[in-house]
Chain A
Amino acid sequence: MKLPIYMDNHATTPVDPRVFEAMRPYLTNIFGNSASRNHSFGWEAEEATEKARKQVASLIGATSKEIVFTSGATESNNLALKGVAEMYAEKGNHIITAATEHKAILDTCKRLEKHGTRVTYLPVQQNGLVDLDQLRMAITDKTVLISIMHANNEIGVLQPIREIGKIAKERGVLLHTDGTQAAGKIPVSVLDDNIDLMSISAHKMYGPKGVGALYVRRRNPRVQLTAQMDGGGHERGMRSGTLNVPGIVGLGEACALAQAEMPAESKRLAFLRDKLKERLMNSLDEVYINGTLEHRLPNNLNISFAYVEGESLLMGINEIAVSSGSACTSATLEPSYVLKALGAGDDLAHSSIRFGLGRFNTEEEVDYVAGKVIEVVKKLRELSPLYEMFKEGIDLTKVQWTAH
């Protein structure tokens, strides 16, 4: 086993060597522009991107003509929301999303609000899931789009996309889902789930950074988007710009591998995640899982160690790469808005660690991580005035703190 151990696979994943090998020719000899119609260099490049398009489409049960290549999920999210808002402006100006979405959705909505779009930010329940009745009630005759992520990037919870898709379909509203964390990790079917638009990123599933895709439904209904970038009219006019051929080949290969290996890999990851959880919870008291365990990515564990501050914990386990919802790890000095949205209290947000297991993590690594985290949490609790007060039976919620 080698240190440091990477267990932050919701942030990004390493490129799978098989993906890299698939990309290699397109970074060297096969360099053509896939839009060049008049020579073999262009044809070879186009053949490669069309193969990748099929691979991406296959992963989510779409057809290849419904895949628009982008620079990543942030661009896909921007294109979906802004493109729909602009295209359907005459139909309505209302979008529904949720408080726990990624910033690429929330900040896009903020910008749209400045231009006259009305946005409803649904709260989530304590388990991290949106309330379907609240969603139903939020829909008005002006609603053009619902954008709810499939899997959350911090707590890994899976929103009830199939039910949301049904509601959207019944009410004649489009459904976009940010599938950045879900694609390649859990089965997704845009047909069964009535998804109209879906954002995908390559680097979250062992592909390269800087490439992603947006699924845009072609039939029943045919979704139209206003392009957000002007140029040569690539990608059926929805996204101009010369295609990133090596990146797209990598995305396609990453999708194919994820699809082929998903049944076995998701079982393996769930086993490792559950082992990590069991060991931590059996050895430590006052440990809380953030978000429902029942509807969750197999590789995610987001856990709060009460009375221990997250950054100090990260410092003690500095040979393990994970992330914390603590304010001190970010530039904003605000703890994770996702954890706050669960209503767990800021103190538990400050004490949270996100473990994101991945394809290259081993059981030996999980054992090491569990042991190290237990050791450091115990050490920091010896240092913690809050843990001491808890042990003395003091109710910390009744203490008069001097907030600063």
Chain B
Amino acid sequence: MAYSDKVIDHYNHPRNVGSLDKSDPNVGTGMVGAPECGDVMKLQVKVNPATGVIEDAKFKTFGCGSAIASSSLATEWLRGKTVDEALAIKNTDIVTELSLPPVKIHCSVLAEDAIKAAITDYKKKAAPVTSEAARV
């Protein structure tokens, strides 16, 4: 399979690889996928509680080159966005940016899911009472 230049670039030079402190109340962690499916993404955001802006984003991905590129690109896009802006990122934006072929669309879906999971986790931590109430 031929990879687009952008996928190759993210694969060779992944942006924002690493981990943030999970116990930090301003850090949201999303982990999606499963080893038996061949891809697992961990995506973390660190939010400034005063402004609601994502100040840092990190990822680690087990998966094919397109999965690595999708999550690497996601962290680039997340930095500097507000939480609400981040939730507006769609998997189709990732498909377009990386020129993913149809068989790799699930990689972009996984990246969108990871963003949503990380932000949900942050919101839960930031307002435990509200989310508790919401659950009831």
Contact = CB atoms under 8 A, between A and B. Distances in A.
B92 interface: no
A338 to B, nearest CB: 16
Given A328-B64, A383-B68, A386-B62, A335 B38 contact: yes
A316 to B, nearest CB: 8
Given A312-B65, A333-B103, A385 B37 contact: no
Contact of A403 (B37, B42, B60): B37
B32 interface: yes
A385 B31 contact: yes
Given A384-B61, A384-B62, A350 B103 contact: no
Interface stretch (B11-19, B49-57, B78-86): B11-19
A347 interface: yes
Contacts of A309: 38-39, 62-64, 67
Nearest to A382: B17
Contacts of A307: 62
A380 B129 CA distance: 39
Nearest to B61: A383
B36 A404 contact: no
Interface residues of B, number: 32
B38 A350 contact: yes
Nearest to B107: A328
B50 to A, nearest CB: 30
B106 interface: yes
B65 A315 contact: yes
A401 B68 contact: no
B62 A403 contact: no
Nearest to B34: A401
Contact of B64 (A312, A387, A396): A312
B34 A403 contact: yes
Contacts of A312: 11, 63-65, 67-68
Contact of A345 (B14, B17, B36, B61): B36
A383 B17 CA distance: 7
B41 interface: yes
A308 interface: yes
Nearest to A328: B64
Contacts of B68: 312, 383
Could you tell me the dominant secondary structure of chain B's interface residues?
mixed
Contacts of A331: 103
B61 A385 contact: yes
Nearest to A386: B62
Contacts of B106: 404
A348 to B, nearest CB: 9
B64 A404 contact: no
A385 B60 contact: yes
B19 A350 contact: no
A292 to B, nearest CB: 24
B115 interface: no
A403 B33 CA distance: 5
B40 interface: yes
A220 interface: no
Contact of A385 (B3, B8, B42, B109): B42
Nearest to B11: A315
Contact of A402 (B1, B8, B33, B63): B33
A388 interface: yes
Central interface residue in B8, B17, B42, B64, by most chain A CB within 10 Å: B64
Contacts of A329: 1
A326 interface: yes
A327 interface: yes
Given A333-B103, A404-B106, A385 B62 contact: yes
A44 interface: no
Contacts of B8: 315
A140 to B, nearest CB: 36
B42 A346 contact: no
A309 to B, nearest CB: 5
B110 interface: yes
Nearest to A345: B36
Nearest to B18: A382
A253 interface: no
Closest 9 interchain pairs by CB?
A401-B34, A346-B36, A347-B35, A385-B42, A311-B64, A385-B60, A328-B64, A350-B38, A315-B65
13 contacts: A311-B65, A316-B11, A327-B38, A328-B38, A328-B63, A345-B36, A346-B38, A382-B17, A383-B14, A388-B42, A388-B60, A403-B34, A404-B109
Interface of A: 307-309, 311-312, 315-316, 326-329, 331, 333, 335, 345-347, 350, 382-388, 396, 401-404
Given A385-B60, A404-B110, 8 more contacts: A309-B38, A312-B11, A326-B38, A346-B35, A346-B36, A386-B40, A388-B19, A402-B34
